[in-house]
Structure 1
Protein backbone atom coordinates (compact mmCIF):
# COMPACT_ATOMS: atom_id res chain seq x y z
CA UNK A 1 0.00 0.00 0.00
CA UNK A 2 1.20 3.49 -0.76
CA UNK A 3 0.69 6.66 1.29
CA UNK A 4 -1.90 7.77 -1.29
CA UNK A 5 -5.19 6.12 -0.44
CA UNK A 6 -7.35 5.48 -3.44
CA UNK A 7 -11.05 6.21 -2.96
CA UNK A 8 -11.97 2.85 -4.47
CA UNK A 9 -9.98 1.15 -1.70
CA UNK A 10 -11.69 3.24 0.98
CA UNK A 11 -15.13 2.47 -0.43
CA UNK A 12 -14.36 -1.23 -0.69
CA UNK A 13 -13.01 -1.34 2.86
CA UNK A 14 -16.10 0.42 4.22
CA UNK A 15 -18.34 -1.95 2.26
CA UNK A 16 -16.47 -4.96 3.66
CA UNK A 17 -16.79 -3.71 7.26
CA UNK A 18 -20.51 -3.02 6.79
CA UNK A 19 -21.11 -6.49 5.35
CA UNK A 20 -19.07 -8.15 8.07
CA UNK A 21 -20.97 -6.18 10.72
CA UNK A 22 -24.27 -7.48 9.34
CA UNK A 23 -22.96 -11.03 9.05
CA UNK A 24 -20.79 -11.40 12.15
CA UNK A 25 -21.55 -8.52 14.47
CA UNK A 26 -24.91 -7.70 16.05
CA UNK A 27 -27.11 -10.74 16.69
CA UNK A 28 -29.93 -8.87 18.41
CA UNK A 29 -30.51 -5.89 16.15
CA UNK A 30 -32.93 -7.77 13.83
CA UNK A 31 -34.98 -8.85 16.87
CA UNK A 32 -36.07 -5.34 17.95
CA UNK A 33 -37.73 -2.27 16.44
CA UNK A 34 -35.16 -0.31 14.46
CA UNK A 35 -34.84 3.22 13.14
CA UNK A 36 -32.08 4.30 10.77
CA UNK A 37 -30.77 7.64 9.50
CA UNK A 38 -31.81 9.41 12.72
CA UNK A 39 -30.99 13.12 12.74
CA UNK A 40 -29.86 14.65 16.02
CA UNK A 41 -28.77 13.17 19.32
CA UNK A 42 -32.00 11.34 20.11
CA UNK A 43 -35.23 10.00 18.65
CA UNK A 44 -38.57 8.80 20.01
CA UNK A 45 -40.44 5.53 19.69
CA UNK A 46 -44.23 5.65 19.89
CA UNK A 47 -45.97 3.49 22.47
CA UNK A 48 -49.66 2.71 22.02
CA UNK A 49 -51.85 1.09 24.68
CA UNK A 50 -54.84 -1.24 24.35
CA UNK A 51 -58.18 -0.19 22.91
CA UNK A 52 -61.63 -1.36 24.00
CA UNK A 53 -64.43 -2.22 21.61
CA UNK A 54 -68.00 -1.25 22.58
CA UNK A 55 -71.49 -1.39 21.16
CA UNK A 56 -73.51 1.65 20.07
CA UNK A 57 -77.19 2.51 19.78
CA UNK A 58 -78.76 2.75 16.35
CA UNK A 59 -77.84 6.11 14.81
CA UNK A 60 -75.70 6.76 17.87
CA UNK A 61 -72.10 7.86 17.86
CA UNK A 62 -69.36 5.29 17.40
CA UNK A 63 -67.61 4.89 20.77
CA UNK A 64 -64.00 6.04 21.03
CA UNK A 65 -61.43 3.46 22.16
CA UNK A 66 -59.49 6.04 24.22
CA UNK A 67 -56.19 4.36 23.43
CA UNK A 68 -53.29 5.59 25.55
CA UNK A 69 -50.52 7.13 23.49
CA UNK A 70 -47.01 7.79 24.71
CA UNK A 71 -43.45 8.14 23.49
CA UNK A 72 -40.11 6.84 24.72
CA UNK A 73 -36.90 8.76 24.05
CA UNK A 74 -33.83 6.94 22.76
CA UNK A 75 -30.47 8.67 23.15
CA UNK A 76 -27.74 8.04 20.59
CA UNK A 77 -24.06 7.58 21.46
CA UNK A 78 -20.97 7.63 19.27
CA UNK A 79 -18.67 4.60 19.23
CA UNK A 80 -15.29 4.03 17.60
CA UNK A 81 -13.13 0.99 16.85
CA UNK A 82 -9.74 1.88 15.36
CA UNK A 83 -6.61 -0.04 14.37
CA UNK A 84 -3.23 0.58 12.74
CA UNK A 85 -2.23 -1.16 9.50
CA UNK A 86 1.50 -0.98 8.76
CA UNK A 87 2.28 -0.31 5.12
CA UNK A 88 4.51 -3.37 4.91
CA UNK A 89 2.42 -5.76 6.99
CA UNK A 90 0.77 -7.37 4.02
CA UNK A 91 4.21 -8.23 2.63
CA UNK A 92 5.21 -10.09 5.80
CA UNK A 93 2.17 -12.08 6.82
CA UNK A 94 0.61 -15.08 5.15
CA UNK A 95 -2.96 -13.82 5.38
CA UNK A 96 -4.97 -10.81 4.24
CA UNK A 97 -4.36 -8.30 7.03
CA UNK A 98 -7.13 -6.07 5.74
CA UNK A 99 -9.71 -8.83 6.24
CA UNK A 100 -8.46 -9.37 9.79
CA UNK A 101 -9.03 -5.71 10.64
CA UNK A 102 -12.38 -5.65 8.81
CA UNK A 103 -13.68 -8.52 10.92
CA UNK A 104 -12.18 -7.21 14.16
CA UNK A 105 -13.88 -3.84 13.68
CA UNK A 106 -17.19 -5.45 12.73
CA UNK A 107 -17.13 -7.72 15.77
CA UNK A 108 -16.32 -4.83 18.11
CA UNK A 109 -19.14 -2.64 16.77
CA UNK A 110 -21.56 -5.58 16.72
CA UNK A 111 -20.84 -6.40 20.35
CA UNK A 112 -21.49 -2.77 21.25
CA UNK A 113 -24.85 -2.81 19.42
CA UNK A 114 -25.89 -5.95 21.31
CA UNK A 115 -24.64 -4.44 24.56
CA UNK A 116 -26.96 -1.44 24.08
CA UNK A 117 -29.95 -3.71 23.45
CA UNK A 118 -29.11 -6.00 26.38
CA UNK A 119 -28.76 -2.99 28.67
CA UNK A 120 -32.28 -1.95 27.67
CA UNK A 121 -33.67 -5.44 28.27
CA UNK A 122 -32.05 -5.45 31.71
CA UNK A 123 -34.39 -2.59 32.71
CA UNK A 124 -37.23 -5.13 32.82
CA UNK A 125 -38.59 -5.92 36.27
CA UNK A 126 -41.11 -8.49 35.00
CA UNK A 127 -39.55 -11.69 36.33
CA UNK A 128 -40.57 -15.33 35.88
CA UNK A 129 -39.51 -17.74 38.59
CA UNK A 130 -36.86 -17.27 41.25
CA UNK A 131 -33.13 -16.64 40.83
CA UNK A 132 -32.10 -19.64 42.93
CA UNK A 133 -31.95 -22.20 40.12
CA UNK A 134 -31.07 -22.47 36.44
CA UNK A 135 -33.27 -22.51 33.37
CA UNK A 136 -35.92 -25.08 34.20
CA UNK A 137 -39.05 -26.21 32.39
CA UNK A 138 -41.16 -24.71 35.19
CA UNK A 139 -39.47 -21.32 34.80
CA UNK A 140 -39.96 -21.38 31.03
CA UNK A 141 -43.66 -22.21 31.39
CA UNK A 142 -44.08 -19.44 33.98
CA UNK A 143 -42.59 -16.96 31.49
CA UNK A 144 -44.78 -18.37 28.72
CA UNK A 145 -47.87 -17.81 30.86
CA UNK A 146 -46.74 -14.29 31.79
CA UNK A 147 -46.43 -13.32 28.13
CA UNK A 148 -49.88 -14.73 27.44
CA UNK A 149 -51.44 -12.98 30.44
CA UNK A 150 -49.96 -9.69 29.20
CA UNK A 151 -51.54 -10.23 25.75
CA UNK A 152 -48.13 -10.20 24.08
CA UNK A 153 -48.86 -11.19 20.45
CA UNK A 154 -47.92 -14.71 19.40
CA UNK A 155 -47.24 -13.54 15.84
CA UNK A 156 -43.82 -14.95 15.06
CA UNK A 157 -42.01 -11.92 16.51
CA UNK A 158 -41.15 -13.32 19.92
CA UNK A 159 -37.49 -13.86 20.79
CA UNK A 160 -35.69 -15.44 23.74
CA UNK A 161 -32.02 -14.72 24.34
CA UNK A 162 -30.23 -16.90 26.88
CA UNK A 163 -26.68 -17.68 27.98
CA UNK A 164 -24.71 -20.71 26.85
CA UNK A 165 -25.15 -22.42 30.23
CA UNK A 166 -28.91 -22.02 29.83
CA UNK A 167 -28.71 -23.36 26.27
CA UNK A 168 -27.05 -26.50 27.64
CA UNK A 169 -29.83 -26.78 30.21
CA UNK A 170 -32.43 -26.52 27.45
CA UNK A 171 -30.85 -29.53 25.78
CA UNK A 172 -31.81 -31.57 28.86
CA UNK A 173 -35.50 -30.73 28.35
CA UNK A 174 -37.07 -33.41 26.12
CA UNK A 175 -39.73 -31.03 24.77
CA UNK A 176 -36.92 -28.85 23.40
CA UNK A 177 -34.38 -31.41 22.22
CA UNK A 178 -36.15 -34.74 21.66
CA UNK A 179 -37.23 -35.65 18.12
CA UNK A 180 -40.35 -37.33 19.57
CA UNK A 181 -41.56 -33.84 20.55
CA UNK A 182 -40.08 -31.44 17.99
CA UNK A 183 -39.51 -33.70 14.98
CA UNK A 184 -36.33 -34.57 13.17
CA UNK A 185 -36.03 -31.28 11.29
CA UNK A 186 -36.20 -29.01 14.36
CA UNK A 187 -33.58 -30.68 16.52
CA UNK A 188 -31.27 -28.07 18.13
CA UNK A 189 -28.21 -30.10 17.19
CA UNK A 190 -28.56 -28.89 13.60
CA UNK A 191 -27.09 -25.42 13.92
CA UNK A 192 -26.80 -25.01 17.67
CA UNK A 193 -27.20 -21.25 18.03
CA UNK A 194 -30.91 -20.68 17.33
CA UNK A 195 -34.10 -22.74 17.31
CA UNK A 196 -37.85 -22.17 17.02
CA UNK A 197 -39.77 -23.40 20.04
CA UNK A 198 -43.05 -22.32 21.66
CA UNK A 199 -43.61 -19.82 18.85
CA UNK A 200 -40.30 -18.14 19.72
CA UNK A 201 -36.82 -17.97 18.22
CA UNK A 202 -34.44 -19.05 20.98
CA UNK A 203 -30.80 -18.04 20.67
CA UNK A 204 -27.68 -18.27 22.80
CA UNK A 205 -25.61 -15.15 23.52
CA UNK A 206 -22.35 -14.76 25.43
CA UNK A 207 -22.89 -11.10 26.35
CA UNK A 208 -25.87 -11.31 28.71
CA UNK A 209 -25.51 -9.64 32.10
CA UNK A 210 -24.07 -11.85 34.87
CA UNK A 211 -24.63 -10.41 38.35
CA UNK A 212 -23.74 -12.30 41.53
CA UNK A 213 -23.70 -15.61 39.61
CA UNK A 214 -27.17 -14.88 38.17
CA UNK A 215 -27.53 -14.64 34.38
CA UNK A 216 -30.29 -12.32 33.15
CA UNK A 217 -32.04 -13.98 30.19
CA UNK A 218 -34.92 -12.34 28.36
CA UNK A 219 -38.03 -13.44 26.47
CA UNK A 220 -39.53 -10.52 24.57
CA UNK A 221 -41.59 -9.26 21.66
CA UNK A 222 -39.90 -7.32 18.87
CA UNK A 223 -41.96 -4.18 19.52
CA UNK A 224 -40.93 -4.00 23.20
CA UNK A 225 -37.40 -2.71 22.52
CA UNK A 226 -36.19 -0.02 20.13
CA UNK A 227 -32.81 0.47 18.46
CA UNK A 228 -31.87 3.67 16.66
CA UNK A 229 -28.97 4.45 14.34
CA UNK A 230 -27.86 7.95 13.41
CA UNK A 231 -24.86 6.63 11.51
CA UNK A 232 -24.45 3.01 10.54
CA UNK A 233 -20.98 1.53 10.38
CA UNK A 234 -18.61 3.92 8.62
CA UNK A 235 -14.86 3.65 8.04
CA UNK A 236 -12.22 6.34 7.71
CA UNK A 237 -8.65 5.61 6.59
CA UNK A 238 -5.76 8.07 6.93
CA UNK A 239 -2.03 7.80 6.25
CA UNK A 240 0.45 8.71 9.01
CA UNK A 241 3.92 9.14 7.55
CA UNK A 242 5.62 9.27 10.94
CA UNK A 243 4.35 5.76 11.63
CA UNK A 244 4.54 4.48 8.04
CA UNK A 245 1.05 3.13 8.60
CA UNK A 246 -2.60 3.70 7.87
CA UNK A 247 -4.99 4.33 10.74
CA UNK A 248 -8.35 2.69 10.14
CA UNK A 249 -11.23 4.03 12.19
CA UNK A 250 -14.60 2.29 12.22
CA UNK A 251 -17.40 4.29 13.81
CA UNK A 252 -21.15 4.41 14.36
CA UNK A 253 -23.79 6.37 16.28
CA UNK A 254 -26.47 4.21 17.90
CA UNK A 255 -28.76 3.83 20.89
CA UNK A 256 -31.38 1.48 22.34
CA UNK A 257 -34.26 1.78 24.78
CA UNK A 258 -36.95 -0.28 26.48
CA UNK A 259 -40.29 0.79 24.98
CA UNK A 260 -42.86 -1.44 26.64
CA UNK A 261 -41.96 -3.40 29.76
CA UNK A 262 -45.04 -5.61 29.47
CA UNK A 263 -43.50 -7.14 26.33
CA UNK A 264 -40.44 -8.46 28.18
CA UNK A 265 -40.19 -11.28 30.70
CA UNK A 266 -36.82 -11.79 32.39
CA UNK A 267 -35.65 -15.22 33.50
CA UNK A 268 -32.96 -14.98 36.19
CA UNK A 269 -30.83 -18.12 36.05
CA UNK A 270 -28.22 -19.00 38.62
CA UNK A 271 -24.86 -20.24 37.33
CA UNK A 272 -22.81 -22.21 39.83
Structure 2
Protein backbone atom coordinates (compact mmCIF):
# COMPACT_ATOMS: atom_id res chain seq x y z
CA UNK A 1 0.00 0.00 0.00
CA UNK A 2 1.24 3.47 -0.81
CA UNK A 3 2.18 5.67 2.14
CA UNK A 4 1.90 8.89 0.16
CA UNK A 5 -1.16 11.00 0.89
CA UNK A 6 -3.28 11.24 -2.27
CA UNK A 7 -2.21 14.33 -4.19
CA UNK A 8 -5.79 15.38 -4.86
CA UNK A 9 -6.64 15.20 -1.17
CA UNK A 10 -3.58 17.23 -0.17
CA UNK A 11 -4.23 19.96 -2.73
CA UNK A 12 -7.93 20.20 -2.03
CA UNK A 13 -7.36 20.17 1.73
CA UNK A 14 -4.92 23.08 1.55
CA UNK A 15 -7.18 25.06 -0.77
CA UNK A 16 -10.23 24.43 1.41
CA UNK A 17 -8.46 25.39 4.65
CA UNK A 18 -7.18 28.63 3.12
CA UNK A 19 -10.63 29.48 1.77
CA UNK A 20 -12.37 28.72 5.07
CA UNK A 21 -9.74 30.54 7.11
CA UNK A 22 -10.16 33.67 5.01
CA UNK A 23 -13.96 33.46 4.93
CA UNK A 24 -14.43 32.69 8.63
CA UNK A 25 -11.47 34.66 9.97
CA UNK A 26 -11.86 35.47 13.63
CA UNK A 27 -13.93 38.55 14.45
CA UNK A 28 -12.03 39.82 17.49
CA UNK A 29 -8.60 39.61 15.84
CA UNK A 30 -9.90 41.82 13.02
CA UNK A 31 -10.95 44.58 15.45
CA UNK A 32 -7.43 45.26 16.80
CA UNK A 33 -4.22 46.42 15.16
CA UNK A 34 -3.06 43.21 13.51
CA UNK A 35 -0.37 41.70 11.35
CA UNK A 36 -0.62 38.43 9.44
CA UNK A 37 2.69 38.26 7.57
CA UNK A 38 6.22 37.49 8.70
CA UNK A 39 5.01 35.76 11.87
CA UNK A 40 5.93 32.14 11.15
CA UNK A 41 9.45 31.44 12.45
CA UNK A 42 9.63 34.60 14.59
CA UNK A 43 10.00 34.22 18.36
CA UNK A 44 8.92 37.85 18.77
CA UNK A 45 7.88 40.80 16.63
CA UNK A 46 8.29 44.55 17.06
CA UNK A 47 5.57 47.06 16.29
CA UNK A 48 5.84 50.84 16.54
CA UNK A 49 3.50 53.10 18.50
CA UNK A 50 3.02 56.84 18.06
CA UNK A 51 2.83 58.93 21.21
CA UNK A 52 0.13 61.42 22.24
CA UNK A 53 0.72 65.06 21.40
CA UNK A 54 -0.86 68.31 22.50
CA UNK A 55 -0.87 71.72 20.89
CA UNK A 56 1.35 74.47 22.27
CA UNK A 57 1.22 78.25 22.22
CA UNK A 58 3.99 80.40 20.80
CA UNK A 59 5.66 82.25 23.69
CA UNK A 60 5.94 85.50 21.75
CA UNK A 61 6.15 86.86 18.21
CA UNK A 62 9.03 85.39 16.21
CA UNK A 63 9.79 82.93 19.03
CA UNK A 64 10.39 79.26 18.31
CA UNK A 65 7.28 77.10 18.49
CA UNK A 66 7.73 74.41 21.18
CA UNK A 67 7.52 70.90 19.71
CA UNK A 68 4.89 68.47 20.95
CA UNK A 69 7.54 65.85 21.79
CA UNK A 70 4.88 63.20 21.29
CA UNK A 71 7.59 60.60 20.95
CA UNK A 72 7.60 57.14 19.46
CA UNK A 73 7.89 53.81 21.19
CA UNK A 74 8.27 50.15 20.31
CA UNK A 75 6.39 47.16 21.63
CA UNK A 76 7.62 43.58 21.57
CA UNK A 77 5.11 40.81 20.99
CA UNK A 78 6.14 37.32 22.05
CA UNK A 79 4.62 34.65 19.81
CA UNK A 80 3.59 31.07 20.50
CA UNK A 81 2.66 28.04 18.41
CA UNK A 82 -0.76 26.40 18.34
CA UNK A 83 -1.53 23.22 16.43
CA UNK A 84 -4.73 21.77 14.97
CA UNK A 85 -4.18 18.05 14.33
CA UNK A 86 -6.53 15.24 13.41
CA UNK A 87 -6.29 11.63 12.26
CA UNK A 88 -8.00 10.44 9.09
CA UNK A 89 -8.30 6.70 8.72
CA UNK A 90 -6.85 5.47 5.43
CA UNK A 91 -9.89 3.35 4.64
CA UNK A 92 -12.15 6.30 5.34
CA UNK A 93 -10.08 8.47 3.03
CA UNK A 94 -10.78 6.14 0.12
CA UNK A 95 -14.49 6.24 0.84
CA UNK A 96 -14.78 9.94 1.56
CA UNK A 97 -16.81 12.13 -0.70
CA UNK A 98 -15.52 15.62 -1.45
CA UNK A 99 -17.90 17.09 1.14
CA UNK A 100 -16.52 14.82 3.88
CA UNK A 101 -12.98 15.97 3.19
CA UNK A 102 -14.15 19.56 3.29
CA UNK A 103 -15.46 18.98 6.80
CA UNK A 104 -12.03 17.78 7.93
CA UNK A 105 -10.42 20.87 6.42
CA UNK A 106 -13.00 23.17 7.98
CA UNK A 107 -12.33 21.76 11.44
CA UNK A 108 -8.69 22.81 11.29
CA UNK A 109 -9.44 26.23 9.86
CA UNK A 110 -12.14 26.98 12.44
CA UNK A 111 -9.85 25.87 15.28
CA UNK A 112 -7.12 28.23 14.08
CA UNK A 113 -9.55 31.15 13.74
CA UNK A 114 -10.85 30.56 17.26
CA UNK A 115 -7.29 30.41 18.60
CA UNK A 116 -6.56 33.85 17.11
CA UNK A 117 -9.53 35.28 18.97
CA UNK A 118 -8.48 33.52 22.18
CA UNK A 119 -5.08 35.23 22.14
CA UNK A 120 -6.69 38.66 21.84
CA UNK A 121 -9.47 38.03 24.37
CA UNK A 122 -7.00 36.72 26.95
CA UNK A 123 -4.81 39.79 26.53
CA UNK A 124 -7.73 42.23 26.76
CA UNK A 125 -9.08 40.43 29.82
CA UNK A 126 -5.77 41.13 31.58
CA UNK A 127 -6.81 44.74 32.18
CA UNK A 128 -7.16 45.91 35.78
CA UNK A 129 -10.13 48.15 34.93
CA UNK A 130 -13.65 46.83 35.55
CA UNK A 131 -17.27 47.64 36.32
CA UNK A 132 -19.72 45.37 38.14
CA UNK A 133 -19.14 42.57 40.64
CA UNK A 134 -20.76 39.50 38.98
CA UNK A 135 -23.80 39.79 41.29
CA UNK A 136 -26.28 40.84 38.58
CA UNK A 137 -26.93 40.14 34.94
CA UNK A 138 -25.79 42.29 32.04
CA UNK A 139 -27.76 45.53 31.78
CA UNK A 140 -27.88 48.86 30.01
CA UNK A 141 -26.81 50.49 33.27
CA UNK A 142 -23.63 48.40 33.38
CA UNK A 143 -22.87 49.17 29.73
CA UNK A 144 -23.37 52.91 30.32
CA UNK A 145 -21.09 52.80 33.35
CA UNK A 146 -18.37 51.16 31.26
CA UNK A 147 -18.67 53.60 28.36
CA UNK A 148 -18.64 56.54 30.77
CA UNK A 149 -15.39 55.30 32.29
CA UNK A 150 -13.94 54.67 28.83
CA UNK A 151 -14.61 58.28 27.83
CA UNK A 152 -12.13 59.39 30.49
CA UNK A 153 -9.29 57.61 28.70
CA UNK A 154 -9.23 60.30 25.98
CA UNK A 155 -9.16 57.90 23.06
CA UNK A 156 -10.73 59.17 19.81
CA UNK A 157 -14.44 58.38 19.83
CA UNK A 158 -15.24 59.30 16.24
CA UNK A 159 -13.29 56.59 14.40
CA UNK A 160 -15.26 53.48 15.34
CA UNK A 161 -12.43 52.07 17.43
CA UNK A 162 -14.44 51.01 20.48
CA UNK A 163 -15.73 47.42 20.64
CA UNK A 164 -17.71 45.44 23.18
CA UNK A 165 -17.90 41.65 23.60
CA UNK A 166 -20.77 39.90 25.39
CA UNK A 167 -21.43 36.21 25.98
CA UNK A 168 -24.59 34.61 24.52
CA UNK A 169 -26.65 34.92 27.72
CA UNK A 170 -25.52 38.49 28.35
CA UNK A 171 -26.33 39.32 24.72
CA UNK A 172 -29.87 38.03 25.17
CA UNK A 173 -30.17 39.92 28.44
CA UNK A 174 -29.29 43.13 26.59
CA UNK A 175 -31.84 42.39 23.88
CA UNK A 176 -34.61 42.81 26.47
CA UNK A 177 -33.75 46.54 26.51
CA UNK A 178 -35.29 48.63 23.76
CA UNK A 179 -32.24 50.95 23.77
CA UNK A 180 -30.04 48.06 22.64
CA UNK A 181 -32.42 46.04 20.47
CA UNK A 182 -34.37 48.65 18.54
CA UNK A 183 -33.26 49.98 15.17
CA UNK A 184 -34.29 53.42 16.40
CA UNK A 185 -31.18 53.39 18.58
CA UNK A 186 -28.65 51.13 16.87
CA UNK A 187 -29.35 51.97 13.20
CA UNK A 188 -28.52 49.72 10.27
CA UNK A 189 -24.97 50.83 9.41
CA UNK A 190 -23.27 47.74 10.85
CA UNK A 191 -19.73 46.69 9.89
CA UNK A 192 -20.26 42.92 9.71
CA UNK A 193 -22.37 40.70 7.50
CA UNK A 194 -23.85 38.77 10.40
CA UNK A 195 -25.92 41.69 11.64
CA UNK A 196 -28.01 39.53 13.98
CA UNK A 197 -25.12 39.40 16.44
CA UNK A 198 -23.75 42.94 16.06
CA UNK A 199 -25.10 46.21 17.40
CA UNK A 200 -23.62 49.68 16.98
CA UNK A 201 -24.87 51.48 20.07
CA UNK A 202 -23.64 54.42 22.13
CA UNK A 203 -20.41 54.77 20.15
CA UNK A 204 -19.48 51.09 20.56
CA UNK A 205 -19.72 48.15 18.17
CA UNK A 206 -21.08 45.33 20.34
CA UNK A 207 -20.64 41.72 19.28
CA UNK A 208 -21.77 38.39 20.67
CA UNK A 209 -18.80 36.15 21.47
CA UNK A 210 -18.61 32.64 22.94
CA UNK A 211 -14.97 32.66 24.05
CA UNK A 212 -15.02 35.05 27.00
CA UNK A 213 -13.33 34.38 30.35
CA UNK A 214 -15.56 32.88 33.07
CA UNK A 215 -13.87 32.93 36.50
CA UNK A 216 -16.76 30.85 37.91
CA UNK A 217 -20.09 29.30 36.90
CA UNK A 218 -22.06 32.47 37.61
CA UNK A 219 -19.32 34.86 36.55
CA UNK A 220 -18.36 36.11 33.10
CA UNK A 221 -16.20 38.99 31.94
CA UNK A 222 -17.63 40.97 29.07
CA UNK A 223 -15.10 43.30 27.48
CA UNK A 224 -15.08 46.91 26.29
CA UNK A 225 -11.86 47.87 24.50
CA UNK A 226 -10.25 50.33 22.12
CA UNK A 227 -9.01 48.21 19.20
CA UNK A 228 -6.15 50.43 17.92
CA UNK A 229 -4.48 50.29 21.38
CA UNK A 230 -4.09 46.50 21.18
CA UNK A 231 -1.63 44.76 18.86
CA UNK A 232 -1.96 41.17 17.67
CA UNK A 233 -0.10 38.98 15.21
CA UNK A 234 -1.15 35.68 13.74
CA UNK A 235 -0.20 33.60 10.73
CA UNK A 236 -1.21 30.15 9.61
CA UNK A 237 1.58 27.93 8.33
CA UNK A 238 1.71 27.29 4.60
CA UNK A 239 0.83 23.77 3.58
CA UNK A 240 -0.62 21.28 6.07
CA UNK A 241 1.69 18.59 7.43
CA UNK A 242 0.24 15.24 6.31
CA UNK A 243 2.07 12.05 7.25
CA UNK A 244 1.38 8.34 7.64
CA UNK A 245 1.15 6.73 11.09
CA UNK A 246 1.65 3.00 10.57
CA UNK A 247 0.60 2.05 14.10
CA UNK A 248 -2.73 3.79 13.72
CA UNK A 249 -3.12 3.01 10.01
CA UNK A 250 -4.19 6.60 9.53
CA UNK A 251 -3.02 9.94 8.17
CA UNK A 252 -2.20 12.67 10.70
CA UNK A 253 -3.09 16.10 9.33
CA UNK A 254 -1.64 19.08 11.22
CA UNK A 255 -2.13 22.81 10.81
CA UNK A 256 0.11 25.28 12.66
CA UNK A 257 -0.58 28.79 13.93
CA UNK A 258 1.96 31.30 15.26
CA UNK A 259 0.33 34.15 17.20
CA UNK A 260 0.53 36.66 20.04
CA UNK A 261 -1.19 39.79 21.40
CA UNK A 262 -0.39 42.74 23.67
CA UNK A 263 -2.07 45.84 25.06
CA UNK A 264 0.44 48.54 24.15
CA UNK A 265 -1.15 51.65 25.66
CA UNK A 266 -2.98 51.70 28.98
CA UNK A 267 -5.75 52.04 29.91
CA UNK A 268 -7.54 50.73 26.85
CA UNK A 269 -9.98 48.10 28.12
CA UNK A 270 -12.62 47.48 30.79
CA UNK A 271 -14.09 44.24 32.09
CA UNK A 272 -17.88 44.14 32.43
CA UNK A 273 -18.42 41.71 35.29
CA UNK A 274 -21.91 40.18 35.18
CA UNK A 275 -23.73 36.99 36.07
CA UNK A 276 -24.63 35.26 32.78
CA UNK A 277 -27.21 33.07 34.56
CA UNK A 278 -29.15 35.92 36.20
CA UNK A 279 -32.85 36.36 35.31
CA UNK A 280 -33.60 38.46 32.24
CA UNK A 281 -34.80 41.99 33.02
CA UNK A 282 -36.33 44.41 30.58
CA UNK A 283 -36.77 48.13 30.16
CA UNK A 284 -38.81 48.60 33.33
CA UNK A 285 -36.44 46.41 35.37
CA UNK A 286 -39.08 43.68 35.60
CA UNK A 287 -38.51 40.02 34.70
CA UNK A 288 -38.80 39.44 30.96
CA UNK A 289 -41.49 36.98 29.86
* TM-score by shorter chain over 0.5: yes
Q: How does 1:106-145 map to 2 (within 5 A)?
A: 106-145=109-148
CA contact (8 A) 1:234 1:251 kept: no
| Aligned match of 2:164 | 160
CA contact (8 A) 1:234 1:252 kept: no
What CA deviation, in whole Å up to 9, does each residue of 1:198-257 have, x standing for no partner?
232211111100013221111112112111135556412223455443221111111111
Against the structure 1 CA distance between its residues 131 and 71, is the aligned structure 2 distance closer, same or farther, given a 3 Å change threshold? farther
Of the structure 1 ranges 36-45 and 73-82, higher mean CA displacement relative to structure 2 is found in: 36-45
| Aligned match of 1:267 | 272
Q: How does 1:249-260 map to 2 (within 5 A)?
A: 249-260=254-265
What SS does the corresponding residue of 1:60 show, helix, strand or coil? coil
Of the structure 1 ranges 230-239 and 36-45, higher mean CA displacement relative to structure 2 is found in: 230-239
Structure 1 unaligned segments of length 5 or more: list them.
none
2:50 corresponds to 1:45: no
Cα RMSD, aligned residues only: 2.6
| Aligned match of 1:89 | 92
What TM-score does the superposition give when structure 1 sets the normalisation length? 0.87
What SS does the corresponding residue of 1:34 show, helix, strand or coil? strand
What SS does the corresponding residue of 1:195 show, helix, strand or coil? strand
What SS does the corresponding residue of 2:15 show, helix, strand or coil? helix
Against the structure 1 CA distance between its residues 258 and 182, is the aligned structure 2 distance closer, same or farther, given a 3 Å change threshold? closer
| Aligned match of 1:75 | 78
| Aligned match of 2:286 | none
What TM-score does the superposition give when structure 2 sets the normalisation length? 0.82
Of the structure 1 ranges 70-79 and 239-248, higher mean CA displacement relative to structure 2 is found in: 239-248
Give how far 1:120 is off.
0.2
What SS does the corresponding residue of 1:133 show, helix, strand or coil? coil
2:105 corresponds to 1:105: no
Of the structure 1 ranges 74-83 and 192-201, higher mean CA displacement relative to structure 2 is found in: 192-201
CA separation in 2, counterparts of 1:113 and 1:91? 33
